[in-house]
Each structure stands twice: as C-alpha cells, then as structure tokens.
Structure 1
C-alpha cells in the first residue's frame, strides 16, 4: 500500500463509521429566529419586512389542511421543499429581493388554497389543459383575490397552483402562469409547458 493511502485510509474509515455520522439538520418550514442557523434565516430575522412576511406565511400554513386540499402529485410545492429553495436565496446576488419574492409567492399560494378548499360551489371557469400530467379531463380554473391561480380536478382538489410570471425576477415560482387571450399558460420550474383553455374555446 502506498504511504499516502496508508495514512489517509484509517482516517477515512473512522469518519465513515456510524458513530461519527453527522446528523442531518432539523426540518424547518419557516425561519427560526430563536436560534437561526441558516444565513437566509439571519437575513429574515434581522429585517422587519421579511420577518413580517414570514409570520404571515406561518399563519397561512397553520390554517391549511394541505393534504386534504391538494391532490397527490399536484403541481404544488411542499412546504419544506419551498423552504429549502428559499434558503438558497442566501447565495443570490439579490439576497434581499429573493426571499421577499419567495414569501410573496408562498403566501399567495397558501392563502389561495385556504380560500379554494372550503368552497365547493363557487364561480370559476371550466377548462381543458393540453399536455398536462393530470390528463385531458376537465378542470376548474379560478384566481382568488390572492393573485394565485388554482386549478382543481373533478374531486375539487387542487392539482396545480401558480403565480404570475415575472421575467427577470429574483425568485422563480414553482409554477408560473401568464394569461394569453382566453387561455392560461403554465410554466413549472421542472416540467412541460401546459396551456389551459376554456371548454368553449377548444
């Protein structure tokens, strides 16, 4: 065995031993201002505007039965997944604008889900979406006062939630949307472009 390898191998084996494993960081769904460990948390906790947005987001999350409102496999970002993406704002050159836009998107989506879920009978638009992962079955489109677009399946569960696209923004929404005439164009962060049109337009 080469001298260098012989010297490094014992240390490598020791570090890889089960007893030396480093535990993963605890799950977080919002900023921890009591003992912030993430750089993004330190930024949020030290900024009155961002801290207020974090509190508003917490309230929206607590008042939502996410599992009941959202269909399995829906284009709706999970809370912890969103938080992990928000934490990456610490590496953005626009590190103040990025978390602010992230919070505004999340609040719009969560508040839209809260408004949509308890109202099975409401004004909305019947539509069909092309090249959609949920198929070509009819869906319902609605844009609550939060500004987020909610798309529901036949069981009144949300299969997609989107916020308006902002080209050049500091934050990329999980699903963005743009109105194109009578249709709505959905642009997910990972996935195909989907166009939803009112039934009478198809």
Structure 2
C-alpha cells in the first residue's frame, strides 16, 4: 500500500465520521389564526401586511368582522373557510405581485364577511340556477364588488367576486354578469343563473 493510498484511506475514514448534515427544515405553514397579530408578526407576509397602512387596516377590519361570526352551516365548497383563506393568502408571498395579490385577497374576503354580516336589504332579484348543492331558485343581490346568492330562508349560500388584475384568484369568481345571466365558478363547480324579476 502506497503512502498516498494510506492518506486517502485516513481522509475517507475521517469524512465518514463527520455527522451528516440534514437538509434545512421546511418552512412551516402559517399558524392557524384568523388574522395576523401585528404585535408579533411571524412570516414575511405578516410583515408585509402589518407594515402597509392599507393592508394593515384591511387585516384589522377582517378581525372585527370575524368577531362572533360562525361559518357553521355554510357550504365550504361555496364559502371558503377562514383558515383555508389564510393559508391561500400566505402563498401571495411567493408571487411577483405579492402586495397586489394580498390586496385582492383582502378585497374578496371583506366582501364575503360583509355579506355574511349583512341582513339583506340590497335590491334582490329571483334567479333560476343550475348547480349541484344549490336550490334551483335563489335571490341574487349585487353588493359591489360582490354578488350574493341567498336561499329561500334568506341565508347566504354563495358570494362571488370578479377576478382582479393580480395573481390572486377568488374562491368563487364571477365569469359573466349581463344583468339577465349570471355565471359563477368555484374550484369544482359552476353556477349558471337566469335572472327573473325584482323581489324587493
């Protein structure tokens, strides 16, 4: 055995004794909290929102609208649960238009929460709709930027908004609203409605 091969053997033995460095731990998902605590931001998205006056105000308004609001009885296929929305909004941090993405996410969420808090009162029309898990006849209310569908008992069944210019995509998007025909699309289903006469 040559001296070079002995040195190589020693080097290999020393390398084998070195602790194996594990890959860096993956970034954990955002905590399951309904709104960001700006006193203790955790992620880059938290800092982006808390350091921006308009986004911070939107975060605070979401917090106020959520107080005492229950999502029980709402179809998660048509009204996105808050925790799911928070996780989806966190992905805006990876978009080139991160701030615009977050702004559109808040605009959509505020429209939904305001609709769930509202008692009606907006001008509504009856519509006959085709979709799964939705009554055939619903009341359609336009509350810009949102369109709501209410069931016969007055409860909100669907809230849709038109997509903005950012990378954010609404959970339920308005695809077409001609005044006589309304088409909305969620992840797995589409609603097509023909508008009838005003109901109130």
TM-score range (shorter-chain normalised) is 0.7 to 0.9
Structure 1 unmatched runs, 5+: 1-6, 12-22
Instruction: Report the TM-score, using the length of structure 2 for normalisation.
Output: 0.75
Instruction: Report the TM-score, using the length of structure 1 for normalisation.
Output: 0.74
Structure 2 unmatched runs, 5+: 1-15, 21-27
Tell whether 2:191 aligns with 1:194.
yes
1:162-173 → structure 2 map (5 Å cutoff): 162-166=160-164, 168-173=165-170
Provide Cα deviations, 1:2-47, integer angstroms capped at 9, x if missing partner. xxxxx9xxx9xxxxxxxxxxx9864211112122222211111121
Are the counterparts in 2 of residues 74 and 159 from structure 1 also a CA contact under 8 Å? Answer: no
Query: How far apart in 2 are the matches of 1:28 and 1:50?
Result: 17
Alpha-carbon shift at residue 134 of structure 1 (Å): 2.1
Alpha-carbon shift at residue 173 of structure 1 (Å): 0.6
Tell whether 2:125 aligns with 1:125.
yes
Q: How many residues align?
A: 171
Calculate the aligned-residue CA RMSD, in Å: 2.5
User: Which has more radius of gyration?
Assistant: 2
Query: How far apart in 2 are the matches of 1:101 and 1:76?
Result: 17
Provide Cα deviations, 1:97-128, integer angstroms capped at 9, x if missing partner. 1111111111111112211xx34x76411111
Query: How far apart in 2 are the matches of 1:50 and 1:122?
Result: 27
Are the counterparts in 1 of residues 135 and 151 from structure 2 also a CA contact under 8 Å? Answer: no
